Structure 1
Amino acid sequence: MSGLLGFCRQGFEPELAAELTERAAMAGIAGYARAQRNDGYVLFASDEADALDRAMPSRDLVFARQKLRVLAELRGLDPRDRISPMLAALEGQRFGDLWVEHPDSDSAKPLAGLARSFGNALRPALRKAGVLSAQDDTRLPRLHVVFVQGDHAFLARSQPRDASPWPLGIPRLKLLPDAPSRSALKLEEALLVLLDADERARLLKPGMTAADLGAAPGGWTWVLTRQHLRVTSVDNGPLRQHVLDTGLVEHLRADGFHWKPAQSLDWMVCDMVEQPRRVAERMATWFREGWCRHAIFNLKLPMKKRWDETRLCLDLFAEQASRPLTVRARQLYHDREEITVFATRHS
């Protein structure tokens, strides 16, 4: 078996399969997607897996939480000895770290105990065989053992520089007691996933200015104030008092979808329930008119043809913004029927 393995939200397998298929076709690489709804992963089989891996940087993928290069698919594993066939399949290769995982799906969650215990047994066996370095080494590929059933596993690799730094691609965030709403986790995850550490340091500096469109009850505003940004929160609804008490927030009771700032801001964020094409067009207006330099916004997707709508909205946004932008989008762990988009103007 050769190809790519992508983790995704349960139920979004068709979207990831469609995305991988289209991106492979655009790169001129033959292959096919193997997916079943609610499995939490998609396999894209191809005889040109290395070229496919290079053609699809993880950061460019929307519906994949994690992208792995498949090395082998092992079926019919004997519970009494799963290690020997893995060592045989990995002979001659070397890795800097080991992750034993399972898809984030209802059917695969019972495999969590197996993944933990098997990792403890496999790690010393791999080191003894010279397959795994004695200490974590980010210069080498990471080995992923992905159980989809107790007797069925994929062996795969990732390059640390082109992979999520979290198992299953899921940052485990805690909702703090003073967070005004669970939506705060969406923006916190977006800042971790869509921006790298250098970008967070450069683009989120104390004293920068931001607008939060559709802010009530203040979850995204609260996240921005924790970065010490000064925020104009636009919503006809109320904000939580402790958010206003930060001294960093001006609450304007107005329609966030039509409001515009008097002067250019560093940031604009938006998590409003509107048709995704309308949101894409409005967000493009913010960049075209020079009202912000950076933005994070959500696009609420329809129940069907979500990849088609995603591609249409992102193309529409880029076209109507009418200026060079860096754009990244991801279906985040804390999202639901939506994707989150980060956009920044080129200097």
Structure 2
Amino acid sequence: MNLLLLCRPGFEPETAAEIADWAARREIAGYPQAERGSGWVRFHDLAAQQENTGADPEEEAGRNTARPALPPRNLIFARQCVRVLADLPQLDPSDRLTPMLAALADTPWRPFGSLIVEHPDSDAARPLAGLARSFGNALRPALRKAGLLSASEDLQQPCLHLCFFSGTHAVLGVSQPRGERIWPQGIPRLRLPKEAPSRSAQKLEEAFQILLRPDEREQWLKPGMSAVDLGAAPGGWSWILTRHHIHVTAIDNGPLADSLLATGLVRHLRADGFSWQPTQPVDWMVCDMVEQPRRVAARMAEWFAHGWCRRAVFNLKLPMKKRHAEVQANLADFHAHCAEAGVAVQTRARQLYHDREEITVLAWS
């Protein structure tokens, strides 16, 4: 399958390496196409191209009666990953709608449950935001009239994506149903309240939105739960936990914001996050310490090995080079340490919008 992946500008090589590894493990012959700073990567499936080049029209129509496979959801560096349905490089600005409807006429996914109109998150593409917003308002009723979009939003059905690269070039694609809203560009729109101790609070809030399913957020973030925040100062991550009415033990030799202590849900202990140990297990451990990623991964594994926490969110800082390889090595080390202790731990990881040179990992036992 041909894929379009949207990512943080500058991380196209990591996204390309990750999708190439994914394809190789599934014996999909193809190659990634990336342009530094563009915010996108294309994966070209050679088998799909050969089929499209020499396909018999009747055989092709027969294949369209069943839904083909959809792209993966568990990539780390890709914020959005869609299966390409049509590449439209020569759109007429006076009538973009007609060729799009024609390209979707025989799609096996009709009707789609929702529509996302987006553009890459790059300096060059940001001026397309107005076009994406206005064109989406025109496209939705046209899709519904053609029977291509459900009458109301259905988050259990595949999502149709329209990604503008310019005013005359767009790609139509489809992504897996998630049972929850999908954000344009894969970026949740979060507001930082003025009382938040730091902007890092948005990292944990985004992690809960992206890495947890709706049912998990409901079950795993309940009032009265307990948490430890390693390297807490000035308290952004602890503050997010208190917003869920979770009791927090904040571990840091530095000071915490007065607004955080005023919640009455935080106990501050001046200690080193790499040596402090809890006296009893907690529901959550979170960590955003600036340290070598392998050391952080080993410390996180120690928490699970000793049964000190049930779930964790932590950040792994990235090196300047070979970042994809380093991420894979760090996660492999984390799982290996847990396995040595006889603890089965599952993980999800993503480079979030509010991350910079790091990734965020969710782990649970």
TM-score normalised according to structure 1 size? 0.93
Q: In the alignment, which residue of structure 1 is the partner of 2:60? A: none
Aligned length: 341
Please show how residues 131-146 of structure 1 align to structure 2 within 5 Å: 131-146=148-163
Instruction: Give the whole-Å Cα distance in 1 for the aligned partners of 2:297 and 2:36.
Output: 28
Is residue 2:41 matched to residue 1:33? no
Runs of 4+ in 1 over 3 A off after TM superposition: 47-54, 137-140
Q: Could you tell me which of 349, 352, 364 is aligned with 1:329? A: 349
Please show how residues 99-118 of structure 1 align to structure 2 within 5 Å: 99-118=116-135
Tell me the percent identity. Answer: 62
Q: Could you tell me which of 194, 198, 202 is aligned with 2:219? A: 202
1:169 CA displacement: 0.9
8 A Cα contact 1:204 1:227, kept in partner: yes
8 A Cα contact 2:70 2:175, kept in partner: no
Instruction: Give the whole-Å Cα distance in 2 for the aligned partners of 1:204 and 1:143.
Output: 31
8 A Cα contact 1:29 1:52, kept in partner: no
* TM-aligned CA distance change 1:123 to 1:227, over 3 Å: closer
Q: Note the aligned Cα RMSD (angstroms).
A: 1.8
**Match of 1:84, SS?**
helix
Q: In the alignment, which residue of structure 2 is the partner of 1:81? A: 95
8 A Cα contact 1:3 1:48, kept in partner: no
Instruction: Give the whole-Å Cα distance in 1 for the aligned partners of 2:47 and 2:245.
Output: 47
8 A Cα contact 1:217 1:240, kept in partner: yes
Please show how residues 212-223 of structure 1 align to structure 2 within 5 Å: 212-223=229-240
* TM-aligned CA distance change 1:278 to 1:237, over 3 Å: same
Instruction: Give the whole-Å Cα distance in 2 for the aligned partners of 1:16 and 1:88.
Output: 31
Gaps of at least 5 residues in structure 2 are: 49-66
1:206 CA displacement: 1.8
1:47 CA displacement: 4.9
Q: In the alignment, which residue of structure 2 is the partner of 1:5? A: 4
The residue identity in structure 1 corresponding to 2:177 is P
1:330 CA displacement: 0.5
Instruction: Give the whole-Å Cα distance in 1 for the aligned partners of 2:290 and 2:212.
Output: 24
* TM-aligned CA distance change 1:138 to 1:185, over 3 Å: closer
1:130 CA displacement: 2.7
* TM-aligned CA distance change 1:196 to 1:208, over 3 Å: same
Is residue 2:302 matched to residue 1:285? yes
1:164 CA displacement: 6.3
1:129 CA displacement: 2.7
Q: Could you tell me which of 188, 201, 205 is aligned with 2:205? A: 188
Instruction: Give the whole-Å Cα distance in 2 for the aligned partners of 1:52 and 1:96.
Output: 17
Q: Could you tell me which of 167, 171, 175 is aligned with 2:188? A: 171
**Match of 2:178, SS?**
helix
94-103 vs 173-182, which deviates more? 94-103
1:210 CA displacement: 1.1
Q: In the alignment, which residue of structure 2 is the partner of 1:130? A: 147
The residue identity in structure 2 corresponding to 1:3 is N
8 A Cα contact 2:30 2:43, kept in partner: yes
1:158 CA displacement: 1.8
Q: Could you report, residue by residue, the CA deviation over 1:47-85 in whole angstroms, capped at 9, with x for unpaired residues?
A: 56787635x2x1x21111111111011112111222222
* TM-aligned CA distance change 1:192 to 1:140, over 3 Å: closer
Instruction: Give the whole-Å Cα distance in 1 for the aligned partners of 2:359 and 2:137.
Output: 36
1:168 CA displacement: 1.3
Instruction: Give the whole-Å Cα distance in 2 for the aligned partners of 1:283 and 1:245.
Output: 29
Instruction: Give the whole-Å Cα distance in 1 for the aligned partners of 2:103 and 2:86.
Output: 7
Is residue 2:247 matched to residue 1:247? no
The residue identity in structure 1 corresponding to 2:88 is L
Q: Could you report, residue by residue, the CA deviation over 1:208-236 in whole angstroms, capped at 9, with x for unpaired residues?
A: 21111111011111111111111111111
Q: In the alignment, which residue of structure 2 is the partner of 1:151? A: 168
Instruction: Give the whole-Å Cα distance in 1 for the aligned partners of 2:222 and 2:134.
Output: 43
